[in-house]
Amino acid sequence: MQTFEALLREAEVTHGHLCAGQILGVRMAMLGCERLGIGDPKGLVNPKDRKRLVTFIEIDRCATDAIAVVTGCRLGKRAIKFRDWGKMAATFVDLGSSLSGLPTALAPQLDTPVYKAIRIAALESSKQRARELYPHIENKNQQQMLAYRELPDEDLFSEEWVGVPIHPREMPGYKSARITCQVCGEGINYDREVHHDEKILCVACASPATRYYQPLTKEELATNLKAGMETSPQPACEHC
């Protein structure tokens, strides 16, 4: 495993700044790898450890980038699974240890293997521990940055062993046929097509009401053209 300091520097470069969230994320991911016995998740010297990890992340905040840096897991490699639960928690899944003899609730389909994983969540009390450790530092980010380096894992995190079902089609490296949506004509990967009224559709065409976007009419576009060109300020980092 790379050292904490080296990983933190990498996280700082990737994320754009150093903050308490980076420190927490680096430590959380290092702990996850340690628990799974994955010493070299990025396969820098031991290629066997590369591709052993899939990480579920329950928040899109500063720590998320740090977790990607430590684990080498990337959204674009399908090795990060984002669950938008707004929780400072992540589950590190070891693809090298599939489990057997589990209740069917865990593996609803026979073709879905269940893997051993460690779920780690940041403790709400960690902020209080930081205050206790550095009461004289008023800046919360500075206070937490110092404390999160030093506090023992058990003061920062709770841990739980869990089983995580991952269907082969959700795995990194899964090859699927590309299907064409019969309405919009766009290509669909990874078996995301929907069979509807004897047609094969993409999700957006099958249920337009659930789209995360809605097409604008010419009139709407013209009215909003000026407003759309104004740039809104970047949201500041939560910790800074």
Enumerate binding residues for Zn ion (CB under 5 A). Answer: 19, 21, 62, 181, 183-184, 202, 205, 237
- Tokens 């949506």, residue? 181
CB 45, CB 89: distance < 8 Å: no
Asked if 238 contacts 62 with a C-beta cutoff of 8 angstroms, the reply is: yes
Shortest Å, Cβ 199 to Zn ion: 10
Closest separation in Å from C-beta 212 to Zn ion: 14
Which of 45, 14, 36 lies closest to 90, judged by CA?
A: 36
Type of residue found at 145: M
DSSP helix/strand/coil, 52: coil
Smaller CB separation from Zn ion, 25 or 72: 25
In angstroms, give the least distance from the CB of 226 to Zn ion. Answer: 32
Q: Based on CB atoms, which residue is closest to Zn ion, 162 or 237? A: 237
Least Cβ distance, residue 123 to Zn ion (angstroms): 19
Residue 216 vs 240, nearer CB to Zn ion: 240
Nearer to Zn ion, 62 or 166 (CB): 62
Structure tokens, 49: 């450890």
CA-closest candidate to residue 73, choices 28, 113, 109: 28
